[in-house]
A and B are shown apart, each in its own frame.
Chain A
Amino acid sequence: MVDVGYLAILLGLCVSVYAAVATVTGARQGNERILRSARGGAASAAILASVAGVILVYFLVTSNFRILYVWQYTSSDLPAFYKFSALWAGNAGSLLLWVWVLSIYWAIVANSRRFQERLAIPYVSAILAINSVFFFFLLAFVENPFALVPGGVTPAEGNGLNPLLQNPGMVFHPVTLYLGYVGFAIPYAYAMGALITRQVDDLWIKVTRRWTIIAWLFLTLGNLYGAQWAYVELGWGGYWGWDPVENASFIPWLTGTAFLHSVMVQERKDMLKTWNMLLIIITYALTIFGTFLVRSGVVTSVHAFAGSALGPYLLGFMGLMLIFSLYLLVDRLKLLQEGREFESYLSKEASFLVNNLLLVGAAFATFWGTIFPLISEAVRGVKVTVGPPYFEQVDGPILLAMLFVLGVCPLIAWQKANWKNLRESFSLPLASAVVFAIILVFAVPGADWRAVSGFAVAFFVLATIFLEFFRGVRVRARMTGERALTALGRLVWRNRRRYGGYMVHLGVVMIAFAVVGSTFFMHEVTRTVNAGEVITVGDYALTYQGMDYRQEGRNTVYFANLAVKKGTRDLGVVRPEKVEYANWPEMSSEVAIMGSLKEDLYVILSGWGNYGREATIEVHVNPLVSWLWIGGYVLVLGTILAVWPGRDRTLGVRYASASTPRGWISEENDRGV
């Protein structure tokens, strides 16, 4: 079956090459037979990638150590769940997962019946085929997942999976991230299809809206799962360390978020056409760049894969695609004339533009901070470190400003807001945010002004969201005579796209509260204590009761017992652990977390001595961290609501200028000129 797996990869490469050539040939000649054959190629690639994927999973689950990849990343005592997740533990497996997802997406797009002619699907398909060719090529000739252990021997036992990867967060994090990364290839391919065929109206945006949102959702989830994994598994007390690999997935998230918002302006106002093209090209390129950072071995990170030969290939492919895309964009620039111009700085479209500039600014700042050590090393031979202080100082204010704009965007009027509109919309949220800030200053004496500003802005956005719901319900109830609850339900359900978006914003606000709270109000104490001694952190008192251990299969788990009290209340016992693996040289930490909506008590066992009579314990009190995960769930629910199928889901509303109204259904647009 090893040969079948590799054969599937080789065949996948061949059909992808064929499909790329056939789609272009078929489209140019208008030959439906060739086009159908190319669509068969796309379906074949999906089948072949699935076959290769299933075979590798089978080898992993059955511990076939003859396969080098299986030997490298699993062992026979590994739980089946983690044997399965070892599919994306190494370069070869994760590239196979990548091409698996990509080829399925490609088959769906190539065989979609809607808008076959209008959107020049063959060219969209050709772009996806080129991506598929590249990744199948890597699997076939650079990182073969079916390579055998040298010497043709079958080792009795495998190397084992890195203990850090044995965590549910690490099971979902890479998958969601890939779904997001690969997902952005779809709107990119449609954008290129639109440019190639010169059909640059906004239909490509309407068709890819759902693809874009779903890709964005997965990328968001990927980042959140990554943060959760770092929080519970890495044991340093935080969830985001501005590590290059974390940044690698955060940067395309920023530009993807900008794209998601700016396309709304094109849909509604026939503006920002070139900007949208540029954003999707950059986002796509950044997904490849992120993959390059993680897999090339150029950065040192706990998240990175071991160094491999992949780097130059990924960089080369990204460069080629960038050159191709930018050439196409420049060549078709005349076709991307804006339908109209900004009428006022005080308008929804202007606020979207500001939001975009902030997001792209944050992306650039993060990108620069991430690659600067590489550039410095290449130019001066000195590898400098750009750490969290840089990112916090540069990104912090930009993201805070972005949060503020997030509150402004939904309330401000399209085209031209007047002062009356602004007063009515913002007086209450602004006043409530100021009151909240004043209360905070008195309630938490000595609070950092940055924390107060962060909370106040988050509260302002929260108030705007509630105001938007409140006003919507009031208008609906007035117009229909419905009761408030009925009006709320129908308002949300019948305007899923709009209110789903507001729910996503609500999730972001929750995340913002969590980030500000945990950044500025965190307490941390590290102490070496003897049995019976107490560690005091904030309101908590932890009494060290001694060390113990238990056997879990071949692994030994050492843990400290700490009785926790908050004030006079007994909260039970926490047990931070260190796990000694039979087949891994380093011990790993398993933190103990006693969580609540208000804060997490986060305890790490740093070490012990004197036969466990003394131990070094690190205790953190991390405020509001639970809201990071709750915000994530709200965000997911909002996104699902926004893309829920139904009437009008693919329709945008174009607000033409009041003086020269023009609907998107006009002949001019309809022909895609």
Chain B
Amino acid sequence: MDPLTLVVGLALVVVVAYLVGAPLLRAEPESPDLEPEWREEEELETRREAVFTTLGEIEFDYQMGKLSQGDYESLSREYKRQAVQVLQEEEKEMEGPVAPGGSIEAEIEKEIEAEIARELAQIRQQKG
């Protein structure tokens, strides 16, 4: 066996031993990726995006004629309710001061308008 083969072979064994063995010798590692807070935050963000995406798509599909009037109204109402719920949870998470007199609702309304697009507002304006 030539020296180069020996050196490279040993290097391989050392690298593998390090990658596999080192974690076993270390103290119980913290797992930041499994922190509950992190998870909750991500889940809330995912839920938020999902619900607003859904609202946007419901509107678009309705306009494209792929949802009946009844389905559209029902789905739209349900997902707006869920949007309110998610935003309220976010509000709680942030532990910000609760504004008196229905300001949360106003804030939520504003968020919804921004997320499901300006176009919806236009239609509403057109409808008067």
Binding site for B on A (CB under 8 A): 1-4, 7-8, 11, 15, 18, 32-34, 36-37, 39-41, 43-44, 47-48, 51, 113-114, 116-117, 348, 411-416, 418, 421, 424-425, 471-472, 475-476, 478-481, 495, 647-648, 651-656, 658-659, 661, 663-665, 670
Q: Mark B1-45, 1 if CB is under 8 A from A, else 0.
A: 100110011001101101111111010110101100001000100
- B23 to A, closest residue via Cβ: A36
- B20 to A, closest residue via Cβ: A40
Which of B21, B79, B123 is packed against the most chain A CB atoms within 10 Å?
B79
Q: Are B79 and A40 in contact (CB-based, < 8 A)?
A: no
B-side contacts of A47, CB under 8 Å: 15-16, 19
Query: Does B120 belong to the interface (CB within 8 Å)?
Result: yes
Across chains A and B, which 10 residue pairs bring their CB atoms closest together, nearest first?
Answer: A479-B119, A36-B23, A40-B19, A661-B78, A658-B74, A658-B71, A475-B63, A37-B23, A665-B47, A413-B66
Query: Among the listed B61, B66, B78, B117, which residue makes an inter-chain contact with A663, where contact means beta carbons less than 8 Å apart?
Result: B78
Q: Are B9 and A4 in contact (CB-based, < 8 A)?
A: yes
B-side contacts of A651, CB under 8 Å: 46, 49-50, 53
Classify the interface of chain A: helix, strand, loop or mixed. helix
Q: Are B24 and A415 in contact (CB-based, < 8 A)?
A: no
A658 to chain B, nearest CB (A): 4
Known A43-B19, A655-B75, A670-B43; judge A479-B117 contact (CB<8 A). yes
Which of B9, B19, B28 is packed against the most chain A CB atoms within 10 Å?
B19
Q: Are A33 and B54 in contact (CB-based, < 8 A)?
A: no
**What are 10 A-B interface contacts by the 8 Å CB criterion?**
A3-B5, A33-B23, A44-B19, A413-B61, A480-B118, A481-B122, A652-B50, A656-B78, A661-B74, A670-B43
Known A1-B8, A41-B20, A665-B82; judge A113-B54 contact (CB<8 A). no
- B67 to A, closest residue via Cβ: A413
Q: Are B29 and A33 in contact (CB-based, < 8 A)?
A: yes
B-side contacts of A414, CB under 8 Å: 61, 66-67, 71
A-side contacts of B58, CB under 8 Å: 653, 655
Query: Does B113 belong to the interface (CB within 8 Å)?
Result: no
B9 to chain A, nearest CB (A): 5
Classify the interface of chain B: helix, strand, loop or mixed. helix
B-side contacts of A413, CB under 8 Å: 61, 65-68
Q: Are A661 and B75 in contact (CB-based, < 8 A)?
A: yes
Bound complex: CA of A1 vs CA of B11, how far in Å? 13
Binding site for A on B (CB under 8 A): 1, 4-5, 8-9, 12-13, 15-16, 18-24, 26, 28-29, 31, 33-34, 39, 43, 46-47, 49-51, 53-54, 57-58, 60-61, 63-68, 70-71, 74-75, 78-79, 82, 86, 117-120, 122-123
Bound complex: CA of A98 vs CA of B40, how far in Å? 38
B-side contacts of A670, CB under 8 Å: 43, 47
Which of B12, B31, B122 is packed against the most chain A CB atoms within 10 Å?
B12
- B50 to A, closest residue via Cβ: A651
Q: Are A479 and B123 in contact (CB-based, < 8 A)?
A: yes
Known A34-B24, A656-B78; judge A648-B29 contact (CB<8 A). no
A-side contacts of B1, CB under 8 Å: 3
Q: Are B16 and A15 in contact (CB-based, < 8 A)?
A: yes
A420 to chain B, nearest CB (A): 8
Bound complex: CA of A475 vs CA of B60, how far in Å? 8
Given contacts A413-B66, A421-B66, 6 further A-B contacts (CB under 8 A): A33-B29, A44-B20, A471-B65, A479-B117, A651-B46, A665-B50
Bound complex: CA of A52 vs CA of B118, how far in Å? 56
Bound complex: CA of A25 vs CA of B60, how far in Å? 49
Q: Are B12 and A479 in contact (CB-based, < 8 A)?
A: no
Bound complex: CA of A128 vs CA of B28, how far in Å? 26
A-side contacts of B61, CB under 8 Å: 413-414
Bound complex: CA of A670 vs CA of B43, how far in Å? 9
Which of A2, A416, A476, A651 is packed against the most chain B CB atoms within 10 Å?
A651
A392 to chain B, nearest CB (A): 36
B-side contacts of A32, CB under 8 Å: 28-29, 31
- A11 to B, closest residue via Cβ: B16
Query: Among the listed A11, A33, A495, A652, which residue makes an inter-chain contact with B24, where contact means beta carbons less than 8 Å apart?
Result: A33
Bound complex: CA of A47 vs CA of B71, how far in Å? 53
A-side contacts of B71, CB under 8 Å: 414-416, 658
Query: Among the listed A18, A117, A661, which residue makes an inter-chain contact with B20, where contact means beta carbons less than 8 Å apart?
Result: A18
Bound complex: CA of A34 vs CA of B49, how far in Å? 35
Q: Are B28 and A33 in contact (CB-based, < 8 A)?
A: yes
Q: Are A48 and B49 in contact (CB-based, < 8 A)?
A: no
Bound complex: CA of A648 vs CA of B48, how far in Å? 11
Known A44-B15, A670-B43; judge A37-B24 contact (CB<8 A). yes
Known A40-B20, A665-B51; judge A479-B63 contact (CB<8 A). yes
Bound complex: CA of A610 vs CA of B126, how far in Å? 85
A-side contacts of B117, CB under 8 Å: 479-480
Known A18-B20, A418-B68, A421-B66; judge A653-B12 contact (CB<8 A). no
Bound complex: CA of A40 vs CA of B16, how far in Å? 8
Bound complex: CA of A36 vs CA of B119, how far in Å? 49
Bound complex: CA of A385 vs CA of B67, how far in Å? 51
- B59 to A, closest residue via Cβ: A479
Which of A4, A43, A116, A652 is packed against the most chain B CB atoms within 10 Å?
A4
Bound complex: CA of A3 vs CA of B78, how far in Å? 65
- A12 to B, closest residue via Cβ: B16
B-side contacts of A411, CB under 8 Å: 66
Query: Among the listed A18, A51, A113, which residue makes an inter-chain contact with B33, where contact means beta carbons less than 8 Å apart?
Result: A113
Q: Are B26 and A3 in contact (CB-based, < 8 A)?
A: no
- A413 to B, closest residue via Cβ: B66
A492 to chain B, nearest CB (A): 13
Q: Are B9 and A7 in contact (CB-based, < 8 A)?
A: yes
Bound complex: CA of A495 vs CA of B57, how far in Å? 9
A-side contacts of B66, CB under 8 Å: 348, 411-414, 421
Bound complex: CA of A411 vs CA of B64, how far in Å? 9
Bound complex: CA of A481 vs CA of B117, how far in Å? 13
Q: Are B53 and A653 in contact (CB-based, < 8 A)?
A: yes
Bound complex: CA of A376 vs CA of B4, how far in Å? 54
Bound complex: CA of A41 vs CA of B23, how far in Å? 11
Bound complex: CA of A651 vs CA of B56, how far in Å? 13
Bound complex: CA of A44 vs CA of B63, how far in Å? 53
Q: Are B12 and A51 in contact (CB-based, < 8 A)?
A: yes
Bound complex: CA of A566 vs CA of B17, how far in Å? 70
B-side contacts of A659, CB under 8 Å: 74
- A494 to B, closest residue via Cβ: B56
Known A1-B8, A37-B21, A414-B66; judge A480-B119 contact (CB<8 A). yes
